[in-house]
Structure 1
Amino acid sequence: MALTRFLPDAYTQILIGVVLLATVLPASGQGAVAFAWITSLAIGLLFFMHGAKLSRDAIIAGATHWRLHLLIFACTFVLFPLLGLALKPLLYPLLGNELYLGMLYLCALPATVQSAIAFTSLARGNIPAAICSAAASSLLGIFLTPLLVMLLMGVEGESGSTLDAIGAIVLQLLVPFVAGQLARPLIGGWVARNSNWLRRVDQGSILLVVYTAFSAAVIGGLWEQIPLARLLALTLVCTLFLALVLVLVEFIGRRVGLNQEDRITLLFGGSKKSMATGIPMAQVLFAGGAVGTLILPLMIFHQIQLMVCAVLAQRYARRPEGDEVGLGAET
């Protein structure tokens, strides 16, 4: 049916189910402690597998396109934060303090890896450059995101000093990633052969973090603090925020004279934010029930960006060879 095109994918439906489960049956007491330990181990495994999957040859192949990479990093780590601050007079009254801080946290995150590459590939963009910039964005985010959190959110969003936060993220995210890269010569072939099964490990890790975070938030009174009207306002804000970013990124690409393939890579690399990195990182940066509220904008934005970028990627994919297509062009 045509309506099924507008439904969330199966994983997103499961994600929503996990949020509902945490609402009805949150982990508490010793159960919460056990889930916290399991979640930490799952996050380490998640980034170990990311390190094992990442091809060094593909990164080297795209690494020379420094101009495009700088533009993608500027959109991810400069444009987003500036918009988050500039739009505060509009966003704060609509969202309130906690959800606005969640939007600022969203703005501080690195770009996605898998989906940015997948959409660039579907849209026939510069795939090697997309692989390189997406991987580099994730690694830079380990160091830049805590600094941006401090600058954007101040002491309200920060747990401990910035150096402590970076150290915790390095230990929990970067060390497993590097271990995965070092283990790649030994297990890379096995990882490639079992990529479909291992994707469940990635997804399961995220589900664990979401359940743990939302359990703490529900016990702390999350849904009493966020009425339905505010949740709908957040969805509208995330949609309009993404639309604004897409238009600005497309404008920047044309303004600096990038060709069509590089503009596609910039569009999908510079407009997306990573839930796979953002949710585990929030678990390290923020304390207790605050995590559930702070990651809510990210979860909504992530689903919207997937649906919108899927449509855009298919639109670019349908273009004849040599034709130029933009956000406002006829297809």
Structure 2
Amino acid sequence: MSLRRFLPDPFICALLATVLLASKLPCRGEAAQVFDGLTDAAIALLFFLHGAKLSRSAALAGLTNWRLHITVLISTFVLFPLMGFLLRPLLSPLVTPGLYVGVLFLCTLPSTVQSSIAFTSIARGNVSAAVCAASASSLIGILVTPLLVGVLLEAHGQGGMSWHAVESIVMQLLVPFVAGQATQRWIGGQVQRHKTLVGLVDRGSILLVVYTAFSAAVLEGLWRSTPLSVLGGLVVVDAVLLALVLLTTRYGSRALGFSREDEITIVFCGSKKSLASGIPMARVLFAAPTLGTIVLPLMMFHQIQLMACAVLARRYARKAETSSGQKSVDIAS
């Protein structure tokens, strides 16, 4: 039973299967153009549904705890990018230059929503604050992530962000999201009631992006330039970044005087990176031949963060149960 927490979830297995399919049967020519069109439509639909699903009342709940939310945003959009950039001399030799661009992209992404809230709940943290913090991170990331990508890539010597990329972000991500928010009043309930269908669109769009991205990358010689030693180095890079952020958010929140419940929220919301937002954003921001290399660090990080946070959440929960039991004994005595 204890081994199950270390097993990849079904969606990770689907991602790996999609990468294998793209490696063996990459789409090319007219088929690639058809898949590109389907992928663009799926991404627009995905962000429309995200906008329709995000309840404004839920996103605004708990905003009075502004110190917590600012701390989460700083961890997500300041601490992570700084670590990725400052650790470049130490970590970049472990991977290829293209993969480290993917690592920098990973550092700019917003937090997850579902898993951040789920782990906060398991660990007995401040769930209402987690809903607000994760939702705000996801919303702000649509605008902030592309800006950070431009800054980091320019500092990395890769050139800034083009006007075409800005236009694509607005048309493919922001406009559908705003349209979803505008219609949330009328269709939000329907979207919430059909979570399975929304989940299929969510996962389906990501799998489409992964298939087209890795198809183009494989045709450009991705696996010839990425030996197993480099993949092992990428695991180390992702694990180091996650460990440093987990430690910083944990002990930093304590130094700032946050309660145990708020500490848990900061740890889980401030250390996550969203696969659901990241892969579609990569599709908009980067050229097709480089996409496979760009999203590979994020795919690995996603699985590592799930395994590490599952263990950490259970440890927090056990400490809460022990503390609760000790208080009961003290009261009884």
Counterpart position of 2:184:
184
User: C-alpha displacement at 1:321, in angstroms?
Assistant: 5.9
Do 2:210 and 2:279's aligned partners in 1 also have CA atoms closer than 8 Å? yes
Task: Find the counterpart in structure 1 of residue 327 from structure 2.
Answer: none
State the Cα deviation string for residues 61-105 of structure 1 (Å, max 9, x = none).
122221111111111111111111221121121112111111111
Identify unmatched segments of 5+ residues in structure 1.
Answer: 325-331
Partner residue, 1:88: 88
Q: 1: distance between equivalents of 2:17 and 2:42?
A: 19
- The answer to whether the aligner puts 1:219 opposite 2:230 as a matched pair is no
For normalisation by structure 2, the TM-score amounts to 0.92
Amino acid at match of 1:165: A
Contact 1:158 1:285 in 2 (8 A): no
* Matching residue's letter, 2:82: L
User: Structure 2 matches for 1:94-243, cutoff 5 A?
Assistant: 94-154=94-154, 157=158, 160-161=161-162, 163-243=163-243
Match of 1:313 in 2: 313
Partner of 1:8: 8
Instruction: Provide closer, same or farther for how the CA distance between residues 125 and 157 of structure 1 changes in structure 2, counting only shifts above 3 A.
Output: farther
Deviation for aligned residue 1:157: 4.7
Contact 1:22/1:214, CA 8 A, preserved across alignment: yes
Amino acid paired to 2:219: I
- How far does the alpha carbon of each residue in 1:241-266 deviate from its partner, in whole angstroms, 9 at most, with x for none? 21111011111101100001111110
**Structure 1 residue 207 displacement after superposition:** 0.6
Determine the C-alpha separation between the residues in 2 that align with 1:320 and 1:130.
18
**In structure 2, what is the equivalent of residue 273 of structure 1?**
273
Separation in 2 of the partners of 1:33 and 1:203? 21
Q: Which stretch of structure 1 is more off in the superposition, 199-208 or 14-23? A: 199-208
Q: How far 1:323 sits from its partner (Å)?
A: 3.6
Which amino acid is 1:186 matched to? W
Alignment RMSD, CA only? Answer: 1.8
Post-superposition Cα deviations, 1:97-133, rounded to whole Å, max 9, x if no partner, equal 1111111111111111111112112222122221122
Q: Distance in 1 between matches of 2:37 and 2:161?
A: 20
Equivalent position amino acid for 2:118 in 1: A
Q: What is the count of residue pairs matched by the alignment?
A: 323
Distance in 2 of aligned mates of 1:137 and 1:219: 35
Report the equivalent of 2:254.
Answer: 254
* SS in structure 2 at match of 1:71: helix
How far did residue 9 of structure 1 move?
Answer: 0.9
Provide Cα deviations, 1:206-237, integer angstroms capped at 9, x if missing partner.
11111111111111110011011110111122
Distance, in Å, in 2 between the alignment partners of 1:152 and 1:320 is 40
CA distance in 1, matches of 2:81, 2:121: 27
Q: Measure how far apart 1:293 and its partner are.
A: 0.2
* Cα distance change on mapping 1:88 and 1:98 into 2, 3 Å: same
Q: Distance in 1 between matches of 2:303 and 2:158?
A: 24
Q: Report the 3-state secondary structure (helix = DSSP H, G, I; strand = E; otherwise coil) of the residue aligned with 1:223.
A: coil
Residue 136 of structure 2 aligns to which amino acid in structure 1? A
| 2:21 alignment partner in structure 1 | 21
Q: Which residue of 2 aligns with 1:327?
A: none
Deviation of 1:192 (Å): 2.0
User: For residues 28 and 48 of structure 2, what CA distance do their matches in structure 1 show?
Assistant: 29
The alpha-carbon deviation at position 319 of structure 1 amounts to 3.2
The 1:100–1:33 alpha-carbon spacing in structure 2 relative to 1, beyond 3 Å, is same
Paired residues of 1:275 and 1:299 also in contact (CA < 8 A): yes
Task: Summarize the Cα distance change of 1:92–1:168 in structure 2 as closer, same or farther, 3 Å threshold.
Answer: same
Counterpart of 2:183, as a letter, is: A
Q: 1:2 to 1:319 in 2, by over 3 A?
A: closer
Structure 2 match to 1:328: none
- SS of the aligned residue for 1:179 comes to helix
Structure 1, 8-17 or 312-321: larger mean CA deviation: 312-321
Identity %: 57
Mapped partners of 2:235, 2:320: distance in 1: 35
Shift of residue 3, structure 1, vs aligned partner: 4.2
Alignment partners' CA distance in 1, 2:5 and 2:313: 15
More deviation, 254-263/120-129? 120-129
Residues 158 and 142 from structure 1, CA distance in 2 versus in 1: closer, same or farther, beyond 3 angstroms?
farther
SS in 1 for 2:81: helix
